[in-house]
Amino acid sequence: MNSLAPVPRIEMDPELKRWLSALRDTYNGAPVTPPGAVVASYAATATGWLPLDGQAVSKRDYAALYAVIGGAYGETATTFNLPDATGTPPAVGTAWLIKT
């Protein structure tokens, strides 16, 4: 009779396991860039990002961003202000954006 030996179980490296888990979460809709991250962009706007122009935005609509920056730049009962970086772009033709 021909019997096969059992395949030994191999434990995955914990760091690799965390990385694969984060990669899986990314493709399951988790944010790749965390709320509050700031970048310089050649685009004035982008989906999921707001310009750093001091505007007031809804606490309800941007709850994740509000959880990060709170009312540090001003707020009312229903809105909070974004930082204002107008006039200080890193280079001509670029804008500062913050992840929502």
Residue predicted with more confidence, 2 or 58: 58
Across 11-15, 30-34, 37-41, which has the greatest mean pLDDT?
37-41
Helix (H/G/I), strand (E/B), else coil: 78? coil
Percent of the chain clearing pLDDT 90 (strictly above): 36
Q: Which of the four pLDDT bands, split at 50, 70 and 90, describes residue 92?
A: low
Residue 7 has pLDDT above 70, yes or no: no
Measured distance CA(38)–CA(48) in Å, rounded: 12
- pLDDT on residue 66: 96
**Which residues does 61 contact at the CB level (< 8 Å), separation at least 6?**
none
81: exposed, middle or buried (C-beta count within 10 Å: 0-12, 13-18, 19+)? middle
Strand partners, 96: 40
